[in-house]
Amino acid sequence: MRNRRGVALLTALWLVVAIAAVVLEFSLEARERRQLGVATAERGQARAAAAGALAVVYAKLDYALRTAAANRVSPILRSSDPWLDVDSLYSGLYPVDSMNVDVRARDLGTQLNVNTLSEAELRTFFGFVLNNAVTADRLAQAIVDWRDADDIPRASGAEKDDYIKASMLTLPQNGQFREVEDLLQVMGMTPDIYTLVSPFLTVRGDGTVNLNTAPAPVLRVLPGMNDVILAQILALRSSGRRITSVAQVMTASTRGRPQAAQVAAQATAQRLTARTTVETQQVELTLLARVAPHSQPTRLMAIIERSAPTLATLQWKQW
Domain definitions of the chain by residue range: 42-111+279-318, 115-199, 211-276
Mean pLDDT of 268-297: 91
Contact 54, 317 (CB under 8 A): yes
Between the two ends of the chain, the Cα-to-Cα distance in Å is 71
For residues 297 and 129, the model is more confident at: 129
Local structure of 19: helix, strand or coil: helix
Contact 253, 227 (CB under 8 A): no
pLDDT tens-digit profile of 86-103? 999 999 999 998 899 999
For residues 198 and 4, the model is more confident at: 198
Contact 47, 97 (CB under 8 A): no
Candidates 318, 317, 314; CA nearest to 59 is: 314
Under CATH, which number does the domain 115-199 receive?
1.10.40.60
Q: Which CATH superfamily is domain 42-111+279-318 in?
A: GSPII I/J protein-like (3.30.1300.30)
Asked whether the predicted pLDDT for residue 246 surpasses 80, the reply is yes
pLDDT tens-digit profile of 1-15? 556 666 666 676 777
- Give 236's contacts (C-beta < 8 A, 6+ positions apart): 242, 243, 248, 249
pLDDT tens-digit profile of 101-123? 999 999 999 999 999 999 999 99
Judge if pTM exceeds 0.75.
yes
In sequence order, what DSSP letters do the residues of 153-189 get, joined into one string? --TT---HHHHHHTT-SS---SS--SSGGGGGGSTT-
Contact 127, 197 (CB under 8 A): no
**Residue 15 burial by Cβ neighbours in a 10 Å radius (0-12, 13-18, 19+):** exposed
